[in-house]
Structure 1
Amino acid sequence: MNLEQVFKQYKEESIHGRYITLALIEPLLHKLNTNKQLKIIGKSVLGKPIYSYTIGKGKTKIFLWSQMHGNESTTTKALFDFLNVLQGDSEIAQQLLSSFTFCAIPMLNPDGATLYTRENANKVDLNRDSQELSQPESKLLRATFESFSPDYCFNLHDQRTIFGLSETGKPATLSFLAPSYNEKREINESRLKAINLIAMINEKLQPYLPDQIGRFDDSFNINCIGDTFQYLGVPTLLFEAGHFSNDYQREETRKYVFMSLILSFKILFENDIVVNGIDKYLSISQNKVIFYDFMYKNIKINYDGIEIITNFAAQYKEELIENQVCFIAYISQIGDLEDKLGHLEYDAKGALYKDDFDNIPKLDQKADFYLDNNVKFVNGMIKI
């Protein structure tokens, strides 16, 4: 199977970029509702409908949810690409629909999606609410889990551009995790199933995304939904969509999430799962905080007549301005940047730093400055 070609064929072109809201996906859900697969399972804090979409007639039940965090939209795009496959008449669609029943909640947190925030409208992180179930969205997710009784859970998220792989010096474009079910991080039957599946996904995805796949931290937190579902005995996989070079809109990353979903279910369909994949799983590079969006090296700064050479880094903050996600670069670290990398790195070779204030970089200051008066940086990048 040519996964690149499958993605091009079924990509949902009507949604793109980072700002994915309920208003954008509702028409798609109704378009996909060809046989009463769509259901409103409840409402958000602000009264917006939360939908589930169920398709297939297979014995193995797959539960997927996305945008639990409103500003994590990459997997939502990939999920719609995947649902387009299931609505097609290809061989893979027929195989998957006969083997699996899929229940997807494409947008668990529509209020957070509109506000482009991690939390819901009550400023609660839904991924820390799996025990208290204090929010309507958390209750709906748990109720759907219990009524659907899945065999596998797919917990779909985004991660920040700061994550990478120390061994390769590359960004962690995708990271996976079989969440722990207890404090000791032991491996029981359900967690082993998730581990085995992730080991195979990684193996089959490497030719498409070499050295850019990470393993997320498995510290146990029963308040997290993935840990809770694993604790309840259902194999759960965490997907974290990360950064691909120059892909801040995450359209390339979207493709690899799509490929991972197709591979997941193809592996399960073909029973192409390693018996004990623990070693293969643990060999996946650990996801670590090693990146800044920008790194500036060998910058000359004049401190009251004393010149020093230093480094500093800048990081984008994602700000919603007039219904558009804008990436605004702010200085985030000054001095020793040992063991850190920049998605974009600039060696000033001793050029003198100047700005419109007091010619000294400061934390949380916008990354607008000059080097030797003849190179201008605006929003972190050289202005041509």
Structure 2
Amino acid sequence: MNITTLKNWFANYKESSLSGRYIHGDHIAPLLDLLSAKIEIDQIGVSENNASIHLIKIGTGPKKLLFWSQMHGNESTSTKAIFDLLNLLTDSKNYITNEILKECTLFIIPILSPDGAKAYTRLNHNKVDLNRDAQELTQKESKVLHHLIKQIKPDYAFNLHGQRTIFSAGETNKSATVSFLSPAGDIERTVTMSRKIAMEIIARINTVLQECIPGQVGRYDDGFNINCIGDTLEYNRIPTILFEAGHYANDYDREITREYIFYSLITAIHYIAKNKITGQGYKDYFLIPENRKCFYDVIIRDVVLDGKSVDIAVQYTEELIENYVKFVPKIVKIEDLRKFYGHREIIGKKRTIRNEIVTVEIVPEIEMLKFYLDSELFSIELTKR
């Protein structure tokens, strides 16, 4: 399976009805209806606001793989990739479908936090972070996942998330487009056999991704927190792989990143299906650079403010406005930013910001950050509706 094959599959199986950042239960309901004619789909619980939580089951193999997406409702990239994957796995004419489904049974929760997804927030209806509720299990969504884990006893767990645009792959000017983590199961971050198995799978994924996004794969921090679901699973010695869908240049809708998540899912599942994974290949995991926070969305460099030469960092905040995710610019830092990078950089050449003001202006269908360097107007165009 090479990159050309993966590209062709993504082009053929991409679920065209899902796009952008705002994905919730109403978007996937028609897809679940269509898939229910081919595979097993059940409602396994409800959220704190009584929204349905579904489980998709596909395959008949002895290796049990559990996936859940949108534990944080505003992290939707992997949900799109899950449905791309399902389009592939329900095509019986594709050779890889039969290879995977003969060896594996996949259990998939496409949206664990339907309330958070609808509100486009990290938190659930009760303002609880479900990824900090793995021990106390105070929320219905947490209990649904906990009971499912106890019921199926997965051999592998896939915890699917998204990360902010601030992350770089190491201390470099390369964005961490996709990041991975084999979570720790104790404060000492012991490299157990179950961690080694997860690390070997991640190392295999990284080998594939380096062919298309070299230097843009990161390794997430493995600081231990037993309240997190991944850490709890590793504590119980279940090999767990955390995915973090990150930023690719000019891809704020995460449609390019979606493709690389699709590649990663296929690579991992096929590797599990075709191999007895021992963990012997775990060391290459540590060749992946750790994530660093080296990026801002925009850096305006070398401008004069209050008589001083400074750089200005602008970060977008994501706001749900009339069912669209809008990227609203906020000034987050004014200082010497030579050690940081901007996804977009504007060179001021020591010109003065007029009136010492950076403002946001709303115009029909477009949001812009507008500012003046001396008499020259600069506009940073944001997301069109």
* TM bracket, shorter-chain basis: over 0.9
1:167 Cα deviation from its structure 2 partner: 4.8
Q: How do residues 331-370 of structure 1 correspond to structure 2 at under 5 angstroms? A: 331-354=331-354, 358-360=355-357, 367-370=369-372
2:59 paired residue number: 56
1:96 paired residue number: 100
- For 1:368, the aligned partner's letter is K
The answer to whether structure 1 residue 27 and structure 2 residue 30 are counterparts is yes
CA contact (8 A) 1:331 1:367 kept: no
The answer to whether structure 1 residue 171 and structure 2 residue 168 are counterparts is no
2:194 paired residue number: 190
Distance 2:278 2:342 in 1: 36
For residue 352 of structure 1, give the secondary structure of its aligned residue in structure 2: strand
- For 1:86, the aligned partner's letter is L
CA RMSD across the alignment: 1.8
1:368 Cα deviation from its structure 2 partner: 2.8
- For 2:353, the aligned partner's letter is Y
The partner residue of 1:233 within 237, 240, 249 is 237
1:204 Cα deviation from its structure 2 partner: 2.1
1:205 Cα deviation from its structure 2 partner: 2.0
* Residues 1:380 and 1:201: Cα distance change in structure 2 (over 3 Å): closer
Distance 2:260 2:380 in 1: 31
Distance 1:167 1:298 in 2: 22
- For 2:95, the aligned partner's letter is E
The answer to which of 175-184 and 202-211 deviates more is 202-211
The answer to whether structure 1 residue 151 and structure 2 residue 155 are counterparts is yes
CA contact (8 A) 1:76 1:106 kept: yes
1:44 paired residue number: 47
1:192 Cα deviation from its structure 2 partner: 1.1
Distance 1:196 1:264 in 2: 10
The partner residue of 1:209 within 213, 226, 244 is 213
The runs of at least 4 aligned residues of structure 1 exceeding 3 Å deviation read 272-275, 378-381
CA contact (8 A) 2:68 2:111 kept: yes
Instruction: State the identity as a percent.
Output: 46
TM-score (norm 1): 0.93
- For 1:44, the aligned partner's letter is S
* Residues 1:167 and 1:310: Cα distance change in structure 2 (over 3 Å): closer
The partner residue of 2:15 within 1, 12, 15 is 12
For residue 348 of structure 1, give the secondary structure of its aligned residue in structure 2: strand
CA contact (8 A) 1:45 1:136 kept: yes
1:166 Cα deviation from its structure 2 partner: 3.4
1:181 Cα deviation from its structure 2 partner: 0.6
Q: How do residues 269-284 of structure 1 correspond to structure 2 at under 5 angstroms? A: 269-271=273-275, 275-284=279-288
Higher normalized strand content (fraction of residues): 2
* Residues 1:269 and 1:367: Cα distance change in structure 2 (over 3 Å): same
The answer to whether structure 1 residue 375 and structure 2 residue 377 are counterparts is yes
CA contact (8 A) 1:130 1:228 kept: yes
For residue 271 of structure 2, give the secondary structure of its aligned residue in structure 1: helix
For residue 64 of structure 2, give the secondary structure of its aligned residue in structure 1: strand
2:365 paired residue number: none
Deviations 1:167-222 (A, max 9, x none): 54210000000000100000111111101111111112210221100000000000
Distance 1:368 1:272 in 2: 56
> Which segments of 5 or more consecutive residues in structure 1 lack a partner in the other structure?
none
* Residues 1:94 and 1:343: Cα distance change in structure 2 (over 3 Å): same
Distance 2:290 2:204 in 1: 17
1:259 paired residue number: 263
1:311 paired residue number: 311
The answer to which of 218-227 and 35-44 deviates more is 35-44
- For 1:325, the aligned partner's letter is V
CA contact (8 A) 2:218 2:290 kept: yes
1:328 paired residue number: 328
1:247 paired residue number: 251
For residue 230 of structure 2, give the secondary structure of its aligned residue in structure 1: helix
> Which segments of 5 or more consecutive residues in structure 2 lack a partner in the other structure?
360-367
- For 2:199, the aligned partner's letter is I
TM-score (norm 2): 0.93
The answer to which of 367-376 and 197-206 deviates more is 367-376
Count of aligned positions: 372
Q: How do residues 97-116 of structure 1 correspond to structure 2 at under 5 angstroms? A: 97-116=101-120
Q: How do residues 113-152 of structure 1 correspond to structure 2 at under 5 angstroms? A: 113-152=117-156
The answer to which of 212-221 and 277-286 deviates more is 277-286
Distance 1:167 1:36 in 2: 44
1:294 Cα deviation from its structure 2 partner: 0.1
For residue 350 of structure 2, give the secondary structure of its aligned residue in structure 1: coil
For residue 159 of structure 2, give the secondary structure of its aligned residue in structure 1: strand
